[in-house]
């Protein structure tokens, strides 16, 4: 028994080997080939992207090409696309020496994730009962981007501490879980969540946090020197922040109802975001000596308003309601960075690199609650009869559902997202603890050198001051290491 334990420990705790030369290409090739085969078997164009559109128009008496869903949703799709790749990607460049990993691995897992998401979501939502294929159009690719967002949020908690292979695994399972969770929430419970406060943010955040908890690194302080930002990396991260902030109205309105639904979702999100900027600046300034602002807060907590409007944006929450939501979120999220993140790291053993608990988990939960309350209090006075039916899809077998019932189901949706995030995170976290995924050692976290060919920065290389030629060669070698002192006595 003792032998077995020792053996296990040897297996689990052997020296980390972050060489991914076989595993990363292997995973990329296998999964991409699998995608090609599955797409070949299952995925086709839908009636609006198929060349038969001309005939479809005649059949459905559509008079103009502009009625193609492409023109309703493509501009929003592109905004969402920018959020996924530039928004999330650059938001994660804030670490001084992990910018390549931040933006690069974000790119990799998003590109894989969206393919798998098209399949998973397709099987659940767009399966053609006649021929068993998935019919895709612009709404599917928006949903695929949404689905990917969940995994990118999870990546935020793990930034700098995992290998790209682990991220691919995390994404494979994350998308799968997401699709099931989304099916339960949106289809079975018939919950409205166009911007994904629950489906995307709550799920993604708890998924990532749970994995981070399982992968806890007690000696992470060995990488402390690289765990912060540099001046320029903070400016790079602001690119991410601003593109997320600006395009969040498109995110929350991208798959809302045509017409007033998209219109209202965009306005509500716009207002909530503006409001959370002010409270973020306020709390950030209030909490520091001499009122100095902290870039971490500005880069993240300003976005909390968008997260929290994910569910309610398309409802008649009214402009001042949106402002209130943003007001609260900016405060909660900034307090999270000040209090919760250190607390969670110290006492709950959850190391959350980007603070996704503050940006996605808490505002996501709040968004779910706001959505439930707004739905429960919806009335025909405010929405009009037709408006109420359209907004909540009280049609078909849901024709008799009341607003109050809908509110209850909305609340149930929050729980489903939470359970999927936590349970899924535990399972995937355990898989990711297996010792062959090539994750970095505790002293090499947050370091691009591990997985990237990093250019030598001659530019930031200092002129070397020597007093004998012998020293030159000696020091050149030493310079390649990070902290050194030349003791020449």
Q: Of residues 387-446, which lie at the interface with its own copies (CB under 8 A)? A: 387-388, 390-391, 438
Q: Least distance (Å) from its own copies to the CB of residue 426?
A: 28
Return the half-sphere exposure (C-beta side, CA atoms, 13 A cut-off) of residue 441. Answer: 10
Determine which residue in the list 245, 251, 409, 446 makes contact with its own copies, applying CB under 8 A.
Answer: 245
DSSP state of 127: B
Distance between CA atoms of 465 and 476, rounded to whole angstroms?
11
* 335: contact with its own copies by CB under 8 A: no
Distance between CA atoms of 325 and 322, rounded to whole angstroms?
5
Q: Which is nearer to its own copies, 74 or 216 (CB)?
A: 74
* 486: contact with its own copies by CB under 8 A: yes
Distance between CA atoms of 354 and 432, rounded to whole angstroms?
20
Distance between CA atoms of 277 and 293, rounded to whole angstroms?
12
Determine which residue in the list 177, 309, 316, 356 makes contact with its own copies, applying CB under 8 A.
Answer: 316
Q: Least distance (Å) from its own copies to the CB of residue 197?
A: 20
* 59: contact with its own copies by CB under 8 A: no
Residue 194 tokens, joined: 């166009």
Buried b / exposed e along 290-317 (16+ C-beta atoms within 10 A): eeeebbbbbbbbbbbbbbbbbbbbbbbb
- What is the per-residue binding string for its own copies in 61-80, x denoting contact by CB under 8 A? ---xxxxxxxxx-xxx-xx-
What CA–CA distances, in Å, run from 293 to 225, 281, 313, 362? 22, 7, 30, 22
* 467: contact with its own copies by CB under 8 A: yes
Q: Which is nearer to its own copies, 107 or 335 (CB)?
A: 107
* 285: contact with its own copies by CB under 8 A: yes
Q: Which residues pair with 43 in a beta bridge?
A: 134
Beta strands in 13-151 (DSSP E): 43-45, 134-136
116: part of which helix (H) or strand (E)?
Answer: helix 99-125
* 455: contact with its own copies by CB under 8 A: yes
Q: Least distance (Å) from its own copies to the CB of residue 210?
A: 27
Residue 471 tokens, joined: 């020293």
Q: Least distance (Å) from its own copies to the CB of residue 328?
A: 11
* 339: contact with its own copies by CB under 8 A: no
Q: Least distance (Å) from its own copies to the CB of residue 40?
A: 4
Return the half-sphere exposure (C-beta side, CA atoms, 13 A cut-off) of residue 79. Answer: 19
Q: Which of residues 180-239 bind its own copies (CB under 8 A)?
A: 225, 228-232, 234-236, 238-239
Determine which residue in the list 92, 112, 120, 437 makes contact with its own copies, applying CB under 8 A.
Answer: 112
Stretch that binds its own copies, among 97-105, 154-162, 355-363, 415-423 (CB under 8 A): 97-105
Q: Which is nearer to its own copies, 97 or 201 (CB)?
A: 97
> What radius of gyration, in Å, describes the C-alpha atoms of the chain?
24
Determine which residue in the list 92, 93, 311, 364 makes contact with its own copies, applying CB under 8 A.
Answer: 93
Whose CA is closest to 321, among 275, 255, 285, 278? 275
Distance between CA atoms of 213 and 254, rounded to whole angstroms?
33
User: What is the maximum alpha-carbon separation in the chain?
Assistant: 91
Helices (H), 159-202: 164-182
Q: Least distance (Å) from its own copies to the CB of residue 270?
A: 6
Q: Least distance (Å) from its own copies to the CB of residue 183?
A: 21
Stretch that binds its own copies, among 22-30, 369-377, 405-413, 418-426 (CB under 8 A): 22-30
Spatial neighbors of 46 by CB under 8 A, at least 6 apart, are 126, 135, 136, 137, 140
* 301: contact with its own copies by CB under 8 A: no
Distance between CA atoms of 421 and 60, rounded to whole angstroms?
42
- Tell me the number of residues near its own copies by CB under 8 A: 163
Q: Which is nearer to its own copies, 32 or 349 (CB)?
A: 32
Determine which residue in the list 327, 337, 409, 437 makes contact with its own copies, applying CB under 8 A.
Answer: 327
Residue 215 tokens, joined: 């992968």
Spatial neighbors of 460 by CB under 8 A, at least 6 apart, are none
Q: Which is nearer to its own copies, 83 or 153 (CB)?
A: 83
* 478: contact with its own copies by CB under 8 A: yes
Whose CA is closest to 304, among 149, 377, 197, 220? 197
Q: Which is nearer to its own copies, 140 or 212 (CB)?
A: 140
* 274: contact with its own copies by CB under 8 A: yes
* 252: contact with its own copies by CB under 8 A: no
* 22: contact with its own copies by CB under 8 A: yes
Q: Least distance (Å) from its own copies to the CB of residue 120?
A: 15
* 329: contact with its own copies by CB under 8 A: no
């Amino acid at each position: 028994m003792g032998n077995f334990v020792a053996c296990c420990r040897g297996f689990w705790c052997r020296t980390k080997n972050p060489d991914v030369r076989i595993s990363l290409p292997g995973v990329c090739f296998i999964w991409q080939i699998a995608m090609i085969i599955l797409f070949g078997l299952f995925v086709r164009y839908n009636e609006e992207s198929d060349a038969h559109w001309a005939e479809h128009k005649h059949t459905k008496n559509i008079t103009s090409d502009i009625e193609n869903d492409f023109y309703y949703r493509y501009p929003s799709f592109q905004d969402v696309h920018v959020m996924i790749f530039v928004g999330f990607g650059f938001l994660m460049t804030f670490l001084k020496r992990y910018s390549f990993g931040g933006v690069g691995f974000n790119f990799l897992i998003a590109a894989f994730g969206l393919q798998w998401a098209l399949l998973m979501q397709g099987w659940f939502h767009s399966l053609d009962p006649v021929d068993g294929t998935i019919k895709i159009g612009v709404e599917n690719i928006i949903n695929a981007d949404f689905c990917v967002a969940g995994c990118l949020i999870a990546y935020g908690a793990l930034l700098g501490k995992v290998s790209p292979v682990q991220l691919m695994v995390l994404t494979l399972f994350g998308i799968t879980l997401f699709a099931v969770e989304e099916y339960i929430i949106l289809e079975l419970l018939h919950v409205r969540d166009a911007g994904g406060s629950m489906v995307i943010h709550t799920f993604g955040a708890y998924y990532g946090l749970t994995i981070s908890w399982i992968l806890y690194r007690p000696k992470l302080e060995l990488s402390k020197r690289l765990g912060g930002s540099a001046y320029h990396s903070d400016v790079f991260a602001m690119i991410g922040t601003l593109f997320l902030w600006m395009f969040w109205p498109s995110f929350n309105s991208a798959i809302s109802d045509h017409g007033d639904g998209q219109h209202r979702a965009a306005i509500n999100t716009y207002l909530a975001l503006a409001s959370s900027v002010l409270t973020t600046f306020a709390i950030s300034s209030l909490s520091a000596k001499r009122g100095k602002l902290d870039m971490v807060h500005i880069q993240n907590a300003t976005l909390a308003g968008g997260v929290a409007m994910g569910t309610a944006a398309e409802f008649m929450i009214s402009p001042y309601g949106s402002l209130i939501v943003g007001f609260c979120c900016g405060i909660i999220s900034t307090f999270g960075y000040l209090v919760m993140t250190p607390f969670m790291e110290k006492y709950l053993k959850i190391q959350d690199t980007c603070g996704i608990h503050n940006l996605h988990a808490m505002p996501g939960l709040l968004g779910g609650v706001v959505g439930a309350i707004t739905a429960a209090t919806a009335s025909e006075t405010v929405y009009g009869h037709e408006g109420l039916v359209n907004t909540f899809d009280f049609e078909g077998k849901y024709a008799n559902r009341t607003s109050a019932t809908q509110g209850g189901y909305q609340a149930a949706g929050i729980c489903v997202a939470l359970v999927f995030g936590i349970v899924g995170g535990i399972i995937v976290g355990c898989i990711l603890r297996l010792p062959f995924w090539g994750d970095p050692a505790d002293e090499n976290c947050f370091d691009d050198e591990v997985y990237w060919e990093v250019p030598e920065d001659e530019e930031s290389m200092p002129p070397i001051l020597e007093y004998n030629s012998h020293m030159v060669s000696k020091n050149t070698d030493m310079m390649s290491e990070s902290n050194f002192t030349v003791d020449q006595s």
